[in-house]
Structure 1
Amino acid sequence: MRALLRISRRDARRAKGRTALIMVMIGLPVLVITGVFTFAATADVTLREGIVRKLGAADLRVMTTEYDRVAEQYGDIGVPGTEESGRPANAAPTTAAEVAARLQPGSRLIGFDEGSVDVRADRGYDHVSAMEIDLRDPLTRGMRPLIEGRYPAAPDEVVVTPALGRGLGDTIEVTRAERRVRVVGVVEYPFNSEHVEVVGFRGVLMMDKRDGHGTGWLADTPAPPTWADTQRLNEVGLVGLSAASLDREPAMALGTTAVVGIAVAVFMVVMETVLLAGPAFAIGLRRRATELAVIAAQGGSKAQLRAIVLADGLLLGGAAALVAAVVGVAGGLLLVPLLSGSVGPPEVPWWPVLGVMALGLVSGVVAALVPAVLAGRQDTAAVLAGRSGTARGGSGRPVLGLVLLVAGVAATLYASRTHEAWVFAAAALGLLGLVALVPSLVTLTGRLAVRLPLAPRLGVRDAVRHRMRTASAVAAVMAATAGAVTVGIGFNSQYVQAHDSFRSETPIGTLTVSARRADDATWTKIRQAAQERLPGVRLVEGMQPVDANGDLVVLVPDRSFACPSCGPMLYGLLVGDQRLLELVQGRRDPGAATALAEGKAVVFDPSMVRDGRLSVHFASGTSADGKVFKVPAVVAKAADPRMGGVLLPPAAVRAKGFALEERVVYARHQPKDVALLQKDLAVVSADVAVSLEDGFQRDLAIVLLVLMGGALVLVLGGTFVATALAAADLRPDLATIAAVGAPSSTGRLVVAGQAGYIAGLGALVGAVAGAVPGVALAWVMTSKFGDYPMFVSQRMAEPAAGATVAVPWSLVGAIVIGLPLLAALVAGAFARTRALPLTRRLT
């Protein structure tokens, strides 16, 4: 083995360009994956890593819960035993004495509260995190390290994190009571530079904690807390965080679908690497043909020749994996502070990194496998005589490929009723069958070369003559194209379904200002402030229903008769008079106005009306979910065809026993800055909400661009590797063409024709291969919105039956037509067509 590696190392130094190409192809996936693993591990601050910001120097952190008993505790999260284990609303708050009775004798407690607070900004309020604790106490050491200044020593003093943007000596107003406090220090929130927080004494920041129902205590215990100590706290509805509870964190187990998904991803990475690097190893075999022939002439066996080539894969694969892993780990660590505000202790997940390195090593050996077999078959006499001695594989019988392809298609059809991961697994099986069929496809399509002009005909014939070399590149292009088309069809179908199903409560461009829980006096101030900030804008009031106890009633339309699996719509109903009707219709509609005056609902989505009536679900604090009442309804046309809302007349709501309050206004107006208007009005009340109906805002362009970019790199990479290998084989033919007087452009056309053939055949077969799993993926993602909920947050009406399949023709066209043309142009432009010496050939 030492001699084999020494030979491989000498050859690698001799052909530095080829060595670098192979190492990049093998090492790039290793670099990316190890970088992502390291970045994620370092940026993710686990409870154990960030324990100092919760415990400080204390031995135990005790936290109150809403339960009278905690049945299970995981980390710092408590799980109640039953649904009835909630603490009564009027229960007395837990006292420090009661907590001390559950701890070791002699324990010392200090209280703390956590929550949020409103901080007055230039315009409006900023809602930020808050903590109330005496940071001067030794138990808090390390919780919030001091950057500058000092810790608070009086109730009117606070410290802040740098992300708040306030400095020493600044005076800020906190809470809605506008209590003025002075910043006396800037502290660090450990492991997160973007966290915004204000820290002061208890009773200063959080008004809702003044009733005794605080967050918890930090405890200094005589001996390290045990799990038994934590269980004693759980018995009275308390959670205890300590080193003992950290050891009880549940292990995260991967489900079957996750394992399948990881296996498919590994398979695709290895296969694509092998298909791309395989031709590059074949280049080395072509350059070393004479050396191997000399070894064979001196008595070297076929097994020894194969071992020499496999040693290339072992050496280059191992070196590429090692270098890429080092660079990936270093890059991941360096990128964490640049891309993430959360930065934990530097962490390298060694077992995953070693697994990825092993994956790179295996990829190198497997990529050298086919060239190694060809090395054992080469004709020694022909090579020593100056002719190409590479053995050509026979046409063979593509039985195995056909069997795998049929099995893959059948598995894909079945997987369309299960899960996305199984769709990809079935597609990988079919793709493996196509890889086995590619040599036969190359032979079959090569017969069509007789119809081509001279230059591309020569290029295609050379590609067919070296079928194994060409098949590897075509298979790499095919795999990349198939993956892009499959994912493209799936996400494009989900996008089209979401877009077509989008419905809005109000017309696009409608501004809504609401304060659902404000009282009458506060709402009057909010409406007045809104009118002042929107001069000349006509505000149309809407109503909200409340029950007898004053609790807000939520009304949503029902269309379950049209879609049994859909249930209520994801948007609510409007309640208002003729002015609101004119706003949502954008015109005067006498028919709809008359119906509304008669107490009928005006509906803008015909699918919600059945037998002239509308079913309405309602729920409130005193009425159970699922209650339904029906009102007469008419179908009208809204100002916006994408609107699917409902306008209920006030009389119909009052008839069901609900009172009405004006807590919302609408306007056909689009302010320049909705967030700024929200902050302006939030000065009046924290309950105010401002929103602008801007329609369906999801964009698929970024997904398609990523798919196109990945396909571009892989398609051009596979094509250029194949054409680089072909350049060595074409030298005799190009020299002959030049000798008989052909212009230099002919050689460029030969190279361009071969590149276009490889990329075109791979892209075409890949598009067809990706269509079947693409349709299956679309079926899964649109029939249940799959595990990729890109657009579920939009207001949608799920189709009553079937799924949506939409092919992204722009992506498919760019890959199938655009990329082969680009590959041909680039290959022809950079082809070396200088005068070549004629090669002496034996006859």
Structure 2
Amino acid sequence: MNWRPVRSWRLPLRIAARDARRARSRSILVLVMIALPVTAVTIADTLYSTQDLSGVEGLDRRLGTSAAKVELVDYGGVIVQGFDPDSNSGHPQAIAQGRGNVVKDVSGVQAVLGGDRTAVPYRYGGLKFETDAGLSYGEAIETDLRSPLVDGIFTLNEGRLPQNSQEVLVNSAVTERGPGLGDQLVVGTLSLDIVGIAESTSSTGSERVFAPLGAFEAAGADGTKAVSALETYGGKQFLIGGGPVSWDQVRALNAVGVAVTSRAVISDPPPTSELPEEARPSGSIDSASLTVLVLLVVMVLIEVVLLAGPAFAVGARRQTRTLALIGAAGGSPTVARRVILSTGIVLGTLGGGIGVLMGIVGAWVLMPLFQRLSDQRFGPYDVTWTHLLGVGVFGLVSALLAAAVPAWIASRQDVVAILGGRRGDTRASRRSPILGLALVGAGVTGAVFGAKAVDGSILIAGSAIVSVLGMILLVPLVVVGVARASRRLPLAMRFAARDAALHRTRTVPAVAAVAATVAGVVALGIAISSDEAQNRGDYQPRLATGQAALSDYGSDAPWGQLKSAVEQRLPEASPTTLRGVSYETGRDEYIEVRLRTPGGRQQFLSQWGGYSNAAMLVGDDSLPPASPQTSAADRAAATEVLRSGGVVVFTDKPVRADKVVVAVNTSDNTTAKRTDRLRETFPAVYLQVLGGPVEAPGVLSEQATRALGLTPAILQLMFDQGATVVDKGTEQDIAEAVAAISTEASFYVERGYQTPDSTVIVQLILAGLGGVLMLGGTLTATFLALSDARPDLATLSAVGASPRTRRRVAAGYALVVGLVGALLGALIGAIPGIAISYPLTAPYDGSGSSHYLNIPWLLLIGVVVGLPLFTSALVGLTARSRLPLVARLD
């Protein structure tokens, strides 16, 4: 084997290692630039792997120590399932109905499995229990809590296990609402002693009760038949002990209508070919997700390369004399390139390795914090080394790419000029701006086509990268243009602008890094803001903001008691009664009221309906409190029509008619038979809805209601506290209080559209990450420039410049880099940001606005103007004002 190509790298690597040791500050800077993204990705990957439980990792949480869990599927027939029936692709489904060979109890399961197997009943479902405020709803598990098969499903944190069916365990979420250790849990007519505090090993947050078998059974109305207060999910379930349950045994149980979660099958699944055709996973790769991932990696790689580029450019500048001596001694330009690239290899390898190690430690430190933010319990700490190897290689590749341009420039330096003490960059290429304009044009074109396409998000994302690459090629031209336009600026700004143009090898990557960061922030900011604008625009409020509504869907609601329960907690609220005709009659019938003009038009509203369950509202002297927003003239006309015994009809668009035909139909909920009851014509006024919720298509007067043979009833009690909105804690207390009076009662407070916490977090992360990257890129380039410009600044001091001049030059350089990069990035980022708003906010069903565009001006001003000014001020305050005199090289 020829080792000569490998040995030819020994000298460049030794020179690079020596230079890294000598220039510690610059080396540390490069290491930080490379290690930080590697650390961030390592933390994200490790935390994701830790929280993403595989089927094997979650077995003890689902099965305890049992060999399998079986479910006698209640829809009967032969079923098919995947290896793990709890996964999306493996969920059991019936393929043949009928009760032929379906087993009806666990003895049939034991007969199929054979051997001596223990079977423990396992019941899981919903449960209503009393709290200090009233009645709440939670989840419960009823099983033999002392059985070894249950070990691992829950953990006992305080107290002891139940000794009989009159004792239960609850989790901390239950104790926060009232009953605690030593108290009684009241479930219907049952009073159960709480003897311990336990937590599920699968999830936290929701109220949960753990009880022995039979704890929730009470005597029925006849005094003999046991009725369970637990509303179970699915069919009968059992934990099965004994030896492993094989795939053949699983299929045998499937044939008799039993779904099986087998520890052995999930731990060591058979070949996919043994799965039934219906249960086989598609195996297709989500091309959209893969494309987005690739684009994200490319963008991060570009950002890291641009951030680290100035340091390699300055390093190459410092090594020019060494490289010139190598060239004078007979070294080829290839050797010069290898010396600079070797710096990338050395620092990239170190940065990638340090970043991975820091990420592993960081994920371990942050895991408890992220666990508190999630209701699902994480799995064991999981480091996926194959992933992290790729992340470390990413650091090496980014360092090599960052060193590539300085290496190429260094190999083309004039050896004689360098040894003669002269330096300077070559003239800017005339071809690069032309290519840059072409790429930006291609990016804009792709974004336009992507905005018009049905699903153009991938095209828009690809166009964004093309635009960013084109922008990078335009940066040298822009920097030179800024330098030429700085003639009338003060000395410090003029010096900074011209120095930036003179030393483009370190200026261009810094400006491009800032621009790429701002472009990403602007694009994502516009996309997120537009999506939120759509969510806010499409939100349909149930009530006016700040109002509260008390509903009860029961046929004989105790409105007096319910009203008193609310008024006890909201003494200053003014209640109003909403009356109307309910869809439900209480006789297993469904009422439908249909409206049309005498000319035959029937559709007046695109959508309506709320939680009052109203087929029509009823009002006598004026519009009911739940009526939508209309003009004052329309409300006056509505009052007049209602007083005269007519009908008010709500519409989306103006309707020219003064009468309405009202038809009443009933449908039997059992037979679905429809019966036409009455059809009458009434004087009417058609009100165009200007905003607000629309509970029903219209309002009947008392006279019209009687003429149609309908009986008005109380649908809701509405409470208004003016400008004061009921807090969420009080809302929950009232909801539990009214639920204790009537199980059909509910309480709701309209708070208007609330931006999800996840969106706020994303926006904060976006602004914070953009700010950090901008500060990092600008500060890095500025201090490298100041270090490189020491001879020039020392000469300024020698000819009489004040000590403040250096600080002003430093602040000016930071402002040039930050402001030019921010303006370029904002222009380029707006292209994909506006384009992606079209497919992102397109309506799913064709209704509503076809496009939402919201520009986050506050974010843009902060990133484009605020951050460059802040960075400039920070640099001006921290830069050294005095330097020792050194020889100036020119």
Measured against the shorter chain, the TM-score band is 0.7 to 0.9
Cα deviation, 1:329-357, whole Å, max 9, x if unaligned, reads: 22213322232151311111222222222
Within 5 Å, give how 1:395-414 maps onto structure 2: 395-414=430-449
* 1:625–1:263 CA distance, 2 compared to 1 (3 A): farther
Moved more, 201-210 or 613-622: 613-622
In 2, Cα distance between the equivalents of 1:290 and 1:421? 47
Corresponding residue for residue 790 of structure 1: none
Corresponding residue for residue 348 of structure 1: 383
In 1, Cα distance between the equivalents of 2:404 and 2:620? 78
1:748 pairs, out of 807, 819, 822, with: 807
2:248 pairs, out of 220, 224, 228, with: 228
In 2, Cα distance between the equivalents of 1:696 and 1:135? 44
Corresponding letter in the other structure for 2:45: F
Corresponding residue for residue 690 of structure 1: 747
Moved more, 425-434 or 415-424: 415-424
Corresponding residue for residue 789 of structure 1: none
What is the Cα deviation at residue 366 of structure 1? 0.7
Corresponding letter in the other structure for 1:482: A
* 1:815–1:529 CA distance, 2 compared to 1 (3 A): closer
Corresponding residue for residue 65 of structure 2: 57
Moved more, 344-353 or 620-629: 620-629
What is the Cα deviation at residue 35 of structure 1? 0.6
* 1:593–1:300 CA distance, 2 compared to 1 (3 A): same
* 1:557–1:253 CA distance, 2 compared to 1 (3 A): farther
* 1:57–1:493 CA distance, 2 compared to 1 (3 A): closer
Corresponding letter in the other structure for 1:443: V
SS of residue in 2 equivalent to 1:159? strand
Moved more, 372-381 or 507-516: 372-381
1:550 to 2:588 alignment: yes
Unmatched runs of 5 consecutive residues or more in structure 2: 1-8, 218-227, 273-279
Cα deviation, 1:597-618, whole Å, max 9, x if unaligned, reads: 5676646663496878799999
Within 5 Å, give how 1:650-669 maps onto structure 2: 661-669=713-721
Corresponding residue for residue 107 of structure 2: 97
* 1:600–1:454 CA distance, 2 compared to 1 (3 A): farther
Q: Is the 8 A contact 1:117 1:174 kept in 2?
A: no
What is the Cα deviation at residue 133 of structure 1? 1.0
Corresponding residue for residue 623 of structure 2: 581
1:338 pairs, out of 369, 374, 377, with: 369
1:329 to 2:360 alignment: yes
Q: Is the 8 A contact 1:64 1:215 kept in 2?
A: yes
1:736 pairs, out of 781, 795, 812, with: 795
Within 5 Å, give how 1:212-223 maps onto structure 2: 215-221=236-242, 223=243
Q: Is the 8 A contact 1:554 1:620 kept in 2?
A: no
What is the Cα deviation at residue 443 of structure 1? 2.7
Corresponding residue for residue 803 of structure 1: 851
Corresponding residue for residue 824 of structure 1: 872
Corresponding residue for residue 337 of structure 2: 306
In 1, Cα distance between the equivalents of 2:319 and 2:833? 43
Corresponding residue for residue 539 of structure 1: 576
Cα deviation, 1:32-66, whole Å, max 9, x if unaligned, reads: 11111111221233442121132222212111334
What is the Cα deviation at residue 168 of structure 1? 9.1
In 1, Cα distance between the equivalents of 2:693 and 2:290? 42
Unmatched runs of 5 consecutive residues or more in structure 1: 787-796
Corresponding residue for residue 174 of structure 1: 186
Corresponding letter in the other structure for 2:813: Q
If the length of structure 1 is used for normalisation, what is the TM-score? 0.87
Within 5 Å, give how 1:43-82 maps onto structure 2: 43-69=51-77, 70-73=79-82, 75-77=84-86, 79=91
What is the Cα deviation at residue 805 of structure 1? 2.1
In 1, Cα distance between the equivalents of 2:680 and 2:506? 71
Corresponding residue for residue 491 of structure 2: 454
* 1:150–1:755 CA distance, 2 compared to 1 (3 A): closer
Q: Is the 8 A contact 2:447 2:460 kept in 1?
A: yes
In 2, Cα distance between the equivalents of 1:706 and 1:280? 27
SS of residue in 2 equivalent to 1:783? coil
In 1, Cα distance between the equivalents of 2:525 and 2:666? 40
Cα deviation, 1:197-234, whole Å, max 9, x if unaligned, reads: 3222223237255999863111234x421222222333
Root mean square deviation of aligned Cα: 4.1
* 1:618–1:711 CA distance, 2 compared to 1 (3 A): farther
Corresponding letter in the other structure for 1:460: A
What is the Cα deviation at residue 768 of structure 1? 1.2
Moved more, 749-758 or 194-203: 194-203
Corresponding residue for residue 699 of structure 2: 649
* 1:610–1:270 CA distance, 2 compared to 1 (3 A): farther
In 1, Cα distance between the equivalents of 2:433 and 2:204? 60
* 1:812–1:493 CA distance, 2 compared to 1 (3 A): same
Corresponding residue for residue 757 of structure 1: 816
* 1:252–1:599 CA distance, 2 compared to 1 (3 A): farther
1:107 to 2:117 alignment: yes
* 1:26–1:604 CA distance, 2 compared to 1 (3 A): farther
Corresponding letter in the other structure for 1:262: L
In 1, Cα distance between the equivalents of 2:593 and 2:319? 78
1:491 to 2:528 alignment: yes
1:363 to 2:363 alignment: no
What is the Cα deviation at residue 619 of structure 1? 9.8
1:240 to 2:276 alignment: no
Corresponding letter in the other structure for 1:255: D
Corresponding letter in the other structure for 1:832: R
* 1:817–1:620 CA distance, 2 compared to 1 (3 A): farther
Corresponding residue for residue 264 of structure 1: 295
Q: Is the 8 A contact 2:577 2:717 kept in 1?
A: yes
In 1, Cα distance between the equivalents of 2:705 and 2:124? 41
SS of residue in 2 equivalent to 1:123? coil
Corresponding residue for residue 223 of structure 2: none
* 1:135–1:496 CA distance, 2 compared to 1 (3 A): closer
Moved more, 267-276 or 351-360: 351-360
* 1:151–1:92 CA distance, 2 compared to 1 (3 A): farther
* 1:535–1:570 CA distance, 2 compared to 1 (3 A): closer
Q: Is the 8 A contact 1:38 1:329 kept in 2?
A: yes
What is the Cα deviation at residue 278 of structure 1? 0.5
Q: Is the 8 A contact 1:546 1:661 kept in 2?
A: no
* 1:62–1:557 CA distance, 2 compared to 1 (3 A): farther
Corresponding letter in the other structure for 1:104: G
Corresponding residue for residue 225 of structure 2: none
Q: Is the 8 A contact 1:67 1:87 kept in 2?
A: no
Q: Is the 8 A contact 2:34 2:308 kept in 1?
A: yes
In 1, Cα distance between the equivalents of 2:835 and 2:681? 42
Between Structure 1 and Structure 2, how many residues are aligned?
A: 821
Corresponding letter in the other structure for 2:588: G
What is the Cα deviation at residue 257 of structure 1? 0.9
Matched-pair identity in %: 32
Corresponding letter in the other structure for 2:237: G
SS of residue in 1 equivalent to 2:369? helix
Cα deviation, 1:519-573, whole Å, max 9, x if unaligned, reads: 4155554344335544463331344321575367799999xx99x9x96457567
Q: Is the 8 A contact 1:508 1:694 kept in 2?
A: yes
In 1, Cα distance between the equivalents of 2:60 and 2:548? 45
* 1:668–1:193 CA distance, 2 compared to 1 (3 A): closer
Corresponding residue for residue 530 of structure 1: 566
SS of residue in 1 equivalent to 2:625? helix
In 2, Cα distance between the equivalents of 1:27 and 1:557? 68
Moved more, 157-166 or 371-380: 157-166
In 1, Cα distance between the equivalents of 2:606 and 2:140? 40
In 1, Cα distance between the equivalents of 2:719 and 2:197? 44
